[in-house]
Structure 1
Amino acid sequence: MKSRLLATTMIAAMATACTTTQESDMATAGIPQVEDYNPEIPAATSVFAELSPLYMHAPQFDQVSDADWQGIIEEAIAIESAEIEAIANNPNPPTMANTLVAMERSGQVFGRAYSAFSQIVSANINDTIAATDEDLAPKIAAKTDAIYLNPQLFARVKAIYDNRAAMAMTPEDAMLLETTYQDFVHRGAELGAAEQTELRQINERLSSLSSQISQLITQGQNGASIVVTDRDELVGLSEGQIAAAAAAATAAGQDGHYILSVSNTTSVPMLSQLENREVRERLFRSSINRNQTGETTTLPMIRETIALRNRRAQLFGEPSHANWQMYDRMVSDPAQAIKFMSDMVPALRATQEREAAVLQARLEADGHDFTLAPWDWEYYAALVRQERYALDNEEIKQYFVVENVLEDGVFYMAGQLYGLTFEKRSDIPTYHPDVSVYTVLHDGEPIALFYFDPMQRESKRGGAWMSNFIEQSHLLGLRPVVTNTQNIAPPAPGQPALATWDDVTTMFHEFGHALHGIFANQQYPSLSGTNSARDWVEFPSQFHENFAAVPEVLQRYARHNETGEVIPNELVEAINRAGKFNQGHSFGEVIAASLLDMEWHSLDPNVAAPTDVMAFEAAALDRIGLRSDLVPPRYHTPYFRHIVEHGYDAGYYAYTWTEMLHHDAYSYVEANGGMNREMGDRIVSTFLGQGHSKTYEQMFRDFTGRDPRVEPLLEARGLIPGDTEPTGAQSAQ
């Protein structure tokens, strides 16, 4: 995925705080302290009991075996639970310091342990880790409910909140109080006892379902690979890709054959290359039919998930799960998110129709008489792209060596904009040999650690993400330790690892998330860095994708893997010219998935949830009105991991909403000097380093001086009528 924030690490991120704040600075006015209070908290015994002795307190992955994690996390849960009970039962009157700040201090052991464990679950899972994750999921949900459904604790929070007008607070203090109170209400603190009991049961079951569905999606993706027996059927793939497919088959005990893998998304990159139509169809159908039958089916669990989410919305008296879920977003009204996307559907549908006609004409020009099918779209789009824009994706790929893209591209951009430099380390243990670690320095001063895990493997779930091992916090005096994870196709043995252009932009995207964590400058960890709303957190990441194509940056990292030649200007121009081509597919699959998400989560909770998942999906796609018969949604429901595990339920629209923000924000960069240190300092001071210390609207206005405009997005996507750029849609007319 182009995303950072794992749902599993969000829990840890909320709980990794500790330090002291002067009681008198934020005490509830006029209420004296009555007695010393030193509750006894169980002592931790695991390797996570104290901060790691490693540089910047990096996790000691080499000190933990797979079998250790269960006991480590259970002990950490018990410790945090005791800490919360101690806060709730404090006999002293509630103050910011002895309640909210104390909560920020709690959960340190859990935060350290679970942030490391959740990355292993996502990036290096095995049977032991999977079983542990499944067992722990409901226990962690119960721990969270024990916090937010604790009546004594909520009474303390509410007393402070009700007295806020009489209190002297910093803006970040005020934000902490506001968000904490909202979180308690959102999570059921004001429900009756019977409703809270049912809510606990629902949350525990949903957490178990999320863990199980996630594992099944990974298994389904691995199991959807197809075996090709004849090398001649692979015409169109490069020699390196064929060698990698042969190596994969050999590793699977099928020497002499070839294994083609599907991606986490519906579309598979090799569909744009394979000349053999039957192989394309096999690969496509294997991709879209995964997780629907057999041992890896997710359908019964998805039915139950939707029903439970609807019942939870009903408990809260909300008209839908989306209304309940979106309480803290930049867009808090589901109708606004739906309208934002639906307004683009007519123009996007027209683009799909025109592009489909272009592709149909192109296949007929080759002497074929079949009708364009979804497994044909990307193949003929690639031919048209190459003929029209002289753009050959496989040729371009030769200029993108993964290590060069990172160190000579991403790191160079970060240096020019922000004064960052990077030093590779060999003394930090990791959870897998593929992972590299770098010290991040700002104007020569160490400020963070950065982990990079780029290559696809069976033990890693699909997509791409950023997460935190250590949250920045002035409370703890801790600097950030962050990680970026991707799924770049591995090379054949002895060959360099090469990235597609999509991999390249994803690398810049995920590093944008990393920078959001690296430049965090908050007092409270729950407001730090990427701990922000779904429809804001993707803004800094998408914003940084723009710098991948800045000529000064591109010429640094785009060098041929054999000759070292800088990418020719004609190829760069081809990339730029082709930027608006094939929007019917690239944008259409995203909007279809985003509206499908909203269809699932805008259901009336007072009506029984659909029992036939695929029938509901088919009807929903028909209502959405795009050509999903030719351009399927980026994720079909059975493997739509974002909305069952990652917390993007009623939130997948965030990628398009923040795309609007980033296009508008980048237009400000272009109009005001481009990529330079002065601009970088402005970026950090207005939004990149602000976490959730301000409102999202205020941060955007602080940077651009205005509210966001949708026009730059429409222009970038070629959806503005009369746009004179060379788009696939217009050249088809």
Structure 2
Amino acid sequence: MRKSTLLATTMIAALASACTTMEDGEMTTTAQLPDTAEYNPEIPEATSVFAELSPLYMHAPQFDQIQDSKWQGIIEEAIAIQLAEMEAIAGNPNPPTFANTVVEMERSGQVFARAYGAFSQVVSANINDTIAATDEALAPQVAAMNDSIYLNPKLFARVKAVYDNRAAMAMTPEDAMLLETYYADFVHSGAELGDAQQAELRQINERLSSLSAQISQRITTGQNNAAIFVNDRAMLSGLSDGQIEAAAAAAAEKGRDGEFMLSVSNTTGVPQLEQLDNRDVREQLFRASINRNQSGEASTLPLIQEVIGLRNRRAQLFGEPSHAAWQMYDRMVSDPAMAIEFMAEMVPALRATQEREAAVLQQRIEQDGETFTLAPWDWQYYASKVRQERYALDNEEIKQYFVVDNVLEDGVFYMAGQLYGLTFEERDDIPTYHPDVKVYTVFHDGEPKALFYFDPFSRDSKRGGAWMSNFIEQSHLLGLKPVVTNTQNIAPPAEGQPALATWDDVTTMFHEFGHALHGIFADQEYPSLSGTNTARDWVEFPSQFHENFAAVPEVLQRYARHHETGEVIPDELIQAIDRSSKFNQGHSFGEVLAASLMDMEWHSMDPASGAPADVMAFEAAAQERIGLRSDLVPPRYRTPYFRHIFEHGYDAGYYAYTWTEMLHHDAYSYVVENGGMTREMGDHIVNTFLGQGHSKTYEQMFRDFTGRDPRVEPLLEARGLIPADDDVEGVDGAEGAV
């Protein structure tokens, strides 16, 4: 055991290192404050590789020092230490102050943060049977740990005492935000519930965490199992030679030599649906994607039904009218009705766009002499034909200009240099969890700023999608610089072939690096407010905002070079990308809005109703209520594989992508109107929102940047839902819009 000396500081001591936000004369007297008393609680001694800060550069995780079988013991030890540290704070005999309660809570849990941050990335990006079993075993323990902290009556009493005295305290704005956040989190977590309700809440939270881990693993299994095999190369007409070779190699890895494997993606849509000439193969691939996780060992349906019932019961315990109302307490949009109304107002115009686009695609089918009626597996194939004919835009041709390493180093990194003064140096001395991962030191105006990990390619051990996470959170209190990672699922190349990215992959790289920049430029005292530790409907704003720079000509012309000739992407292709930006909105925006509204359907029901008896029947009825053409454009995620809302914490929060899309279009219009991609603009971005974490309110940060409240019109224009200066006619969505 080790002893941790916690000094219960007086108000005067707390003020010694903080700027006051109060006028002279407003401060209460300190004559009656108690003297500091020494307090030496016992804390378990850490023994794992995470016991101390890593000796590696910027304290990067020592992945090479950890065996898969050791993770459970490592995390369980870290949980025990975290609980002991919190109990020590709760048991402090000295009167509560901001320093000896709230700040000490920020200092606690460092062993757990280091260990669990690394473990979580391994679970998501390099899982195996041992890691999966460990994750399932640990999930309820982590939930129980959180409940033990937030339902600790002595700890809450101390936080509440400090909170109730806040008017008499001198705090920096960040101090005040931290206190507000802690208090709100305690209340939201059940600190004010009765003993019986808290006991039930603990059981619900532990079961939900276990279900989340199981659902995540089944979604990954379902995606892997949904791959289809084709035994005739001719049936893959429309795919490039490189894609066909990759499909043959993937089949061979599964022991099916002579066949070709086509995998589904994490989303309902599969990229190859745009290219495959064979309609039967398109239908087979589409159905494999849309029907996954509904039967067999990978079925998530019974687990999802239980999750919904437990979430509704929890809302009842809190007296909330829905799970959404309980969940959205800390959001920029805290009222579910406001989020629903924001999206529902776009449905009529979007439905009209879908009908109009469907008619154009049906006409294109008949132009080929075909007599079949447009089906969902035809939409993207014929949309690709129309796109190519109308805008001279061929996605496979464009892909030849996007070599993954070039996009990252000559595109993303170049943008970061021009805007923010960042430079990058690849390292070979940092161990990683998989050979695909690269590590870079990030310098800001020549000074070391952060470490950045990049894990680009899909594999069976990685869950779908793309994400950013932190191995080390920035904090001045703890003296830590950020160590961040971006993970994607770009199709790996066949042996000897270059790694090429689609345009969607490219914009995703800029998107995820926007998250990384949010972490890299974190400049907060407290880790809980640092970087991306913000609300769901704000955290996607910096990432979506940075997608815009992928198409800036100055940036595009540096990274978009043909992998064989080195030729810069032709101007006509750049113009085609720009002209087609409003094309096919019935599909691209329709699938996102349908998924966002489906999320709210699941989480806005009366909690007394429990859970629907039939998950898929509920989904079908909800799609009817939503009112979009989901028969032709299904939601981006159907319920059985909607990982965001059953594992990622986006329940009653998937609307955030559309809400923050509104923010980023409006914010980027400010960039265009004020000089574009300059260092002065980059400094303004960092000083107003990118480097602010959650040190201010979200509304204030947006106003600090643009000088105004957000406007929806730039989003509607970008999506083609209101007329704009556009000479293009047809399926761009501008006709008959709102």
State the TM bucket, normalised to the shorter chain.
Answer: over 0.9
**In structure 2, distance between residues paired with 1:67 and 1:53:** 23
Could you give the per-residue CA deviations for residues 179-223 of structure 1, whole angstroms, max 9, x where no partner exists? Answer: 000000000000000000000000000000000000000000000
User: Is this contact kept in 1: 2:9–2:97, CA < 8 A?
Assistant: no
Task: Give runs of aligned pairs for residues 197-212 of structure 1, distance below 5 A.
Answer: 197-212=199-214
Counterpart position of 1:101: 103
User: Which of these residues, 2, 14, 21, is aligned with residue 26 of structure 1?
Assistant: 14
**In structure 1, distance between residues paired with 2:258 and 2:609:** 54
Task: Give runs of aligned pairs for residues 98-497 of structure 1, distance below 5 A.
Answer: 98-497=100-499
Report the residue type matching 2:369 in the other structure. G
Counterpart position of 1:582: 584
2:511 counterpart of 1:509: yes
User: Which of these residues, 543, 550, 568, is aligned with residue 548 of structure 1?
Assistant: 550
SS in 2 for 1:610: coil
User: Is this contact kept in 2: 1:37–1:90, CA < 8 A?
Assistant: yes
**In structure 2, distance between residues paired with 1:528 and 1:564:** 41
**In structure 2, distance between residues paired with 1:421 and 1:729:** 39
User: Is this contact kept in 2: 1:357–1:732, CA < 8 A?
Assistant: no
Counterpart position of 2:18: none
Give 1:607 deviation, angstroms: 1.6
Report the residue type matching 1:99 in the other structure. T
User: Is this contact kept in 1: 2:156–2:191, CA < 8 A?
Assistant: yes
Give me the CA root mean square deviation.
Answer: 1.4
**In structure 1, distance between residues paired with 2:467 and 2:675:** 30
Give 1:23 deviation, angstroms: 6.1
- When residues 197 and 412 of structure 1 are mapped into structure 2, their CA distance, relative to the original with a 3 A threshold, is same
Counterpart position of 2:21: none
Could you give the per-residue CA deviations for residues 343-374 of structure 1, whole angstroms, max 9, x where no partner exists? Answer: 00000000000000000000000000010000
User: Is this contact kept in 1: 2:7–2:39, CA < 8 A?
Assistant: no
Give 1:40 deviation, angstroms: 1.1
Give 1:33 deviation, angstroms: 3.6
Counterpart position of 1:559: 561
Counterpart position of 1:625: 627
Could you give the per-residue CA deviations for residues 431-466 of structure 1, whole angstroms, max 9, x where no partner exists? Answer: 000000000000000010000000000000000000
**In structure 2, distance between residues paired with 1:434 and 1:521:** 30
User: Is this contact kept in 2: 1:508–1:547, CA < 8 A?
Assistant: yes
**In structure 1, distance between residues paired with 2:696 and 2:733:** 42
- When residues 38 and 405 of structure 1 are mapped into structure 2, their CA distance, relative to the original with a 3 A threshold, is same
- When residues 731 and 711 of structure 1 are mapped into structure 2, their CA distance, relative to the original with a 3 A threshold, is closer
**In structure 1, distance between residues paired with 2:608 and 2:501:** 48
Give 1:732 deviation, angstroms: 8.3
User: Is this contact kept in 2: 1:345–1:625, CA < 8 A?
Assistant: yes
User: Is this contact kept in 2: 1:19–1:475, CA < 8 A?
Assistant: no
SS in 1 for 2:608: coil
User: Is this contact kept in 1: 2:230–2:260, CA < 8 A?
Assistant: yes
User: Is this contact kept in 2: 1:19–1:105, CA < 8 A?
Assistant: no
User: Is this contact kept in 2: 1:323–1:334, CA < 8 A?
Assistant: yes
**In structure 2, distance between residues paired with 1:402 and 1:22:** 55
User: Is this contact kept in 2: 1:33–1:93, CA < 8 A?
Assistant: no
Larger deviation: 77-86 or 605-614? Answer: 605-614
Report the residue type matching 2:327 in the other structure. Q
SS in 2 for 1:358: helix
**In structure 2, distance between residues paired with 1:516 and 1:130:** 30
**In structure 2, distance between residues paired with 1:330 and 1:608:** 28
- When residues 546 and 687 of structure 1 are mapped into structure 2, their CA distance, relative to the original with a 3 A threshold, is same
Counterpart position of 1:13: none
User: Which of these residues, 53, 58, 62, is aligned with residue 64 of structure 2?
Assistant: 62
Report the residue type matching 1:370 in the other structure. F
User: Is this contact kept in 1: 2:10–2:36, CA < 8 A?
Assistant: no
**In structure 2, distance between residues paired with 1:591 and 1:514:** 26
Counterpart position of 2:704: 702
Identity %: 81
Give 1:731 deviation, angstroms: 8.4
SS in 1 for 2:448: strand
Could you give the per-residue CA deviations for residues 506-558 of structure 1, whole angstroms, max 9, x where no partner exists? Answer: 00000000000000000000000000000000000000000000000000000
Could you give the per-residue CA deviations for residues 274-319 of structure 1, whole angstroms, max 9, x where no partner exists? Answer: 0000000000000000000000000000000000000000000000
User: Is this contact kept in 1: 2:218–2:293, CA < 8 A?
Assistant: yes
Superposition TM-score, scaled by structure 1 size: 0.96
User: Is this contact kept in 2: 1:20–1:475, CA < 8 A?
Assistant: no
Counterpart position of 1:78: 80
Give 1:721 deviation, angstroms: 4.2
Report the residue type matching 2:398 in the other structure. I
2:596 counterpart of 1:608: no
Give 1:467 deviation, angstroms: 0.1
Give 1:35 deviation, angstroms: 2.3
Provide structure 1 residue ranges, at least 5 long, that are not aligned to the other structure: 1-17
Counterpart position of 1:5: none
**In structure 1, distance between residues paired with 2:533 and 2:39:** 31
**In structure 2, distance between residues paired with 1:19 and 1:439:** 37
Report the residue type matching 1:430 in the other structure. T
User: Which of these residues, 31, 34, 37, is aligned with residue 35 of structure 1?
Assistant: 37
- When residues 309 and 475 of structure 1 are mapped into structure 2, their CA distance, relative to the original with a 3 A threshold, is same
2:684 counterpart of 1:682: yes
User: Is this contact kept in 1: 2:117–2:471, CA < 8 A?
Assistant: yes
- When residues 442 and 22 of structure 1 are mapped into structure 2, their CA distance, relative to the original with a 3 A threshold, is farther
Counterpart position of 2:19: none
SS in 1 for 2:648: coil
Work out which structure has the larger RCO, using CA pairs closer than 8 Å and 6 or more positions apart in sequence: 1
SS in 1 for 2:43: coil
SS in 2 for 1:606: helix
Report the residue type matching 2:407 in the other structure. V
- When residues 732 and 96 of structure 1 are mapped into structure 2, their CA distance, relative to the original with a 3 A threshold, is closer
Give 1:726 deviation, angstroms: 2.2
**In structure 1, distance between residues paired with 2:704 and 2:520:** 20
Give 1:24 deviation, angstroms: 2.9
**In structure 1, distance between residues paired with 2:291 and 2:423:** 45
Could you give the per-residue CA deviations for residues 117-147 of structure 1, whole angstroms, max 9, x where no partner exists? Answer: 0000000000000000000000000000000
User: Which of these residues, 647, 661, 668, is aligned with residue 659 of structure 1?
Assistant: 661
**In structure 1, distance between residues paired with 2:304 and 2:9:** 45
**In structure 2, distance between residues paired with 1:365 and 1:663:** 37
Larger deviation: 721-730 or 276-285? Answer: 721-730
Number of residue pairs the alignment of both structures matches:
716
Report the residue type matching 2:85 in the other structure. E
- When residues 731 and 42 of structure 1 are mapped into structure 2, their CA distance, relative to the original with a 3 A threshold, is closer
Give 1:724 deviation, angstroms: 3.4
Give 1:331 deviation, angstroms: 0.1
Counterpart position of 1:14: none
**In structure 1, distance between residues paired with 2:7 and 2:496:** 50
Report the residue type matching 1:665 in the other structure. A
Could you give the per-residue CA deviations for residues 301-341 of structure 1, whole angstroms, max 9, x where no partner exists? Answer: 00000000000000000000000000000000000000000
User: Is this contact kept in 2: 1:715–1:723, CA < 8 A?
Assistant: no
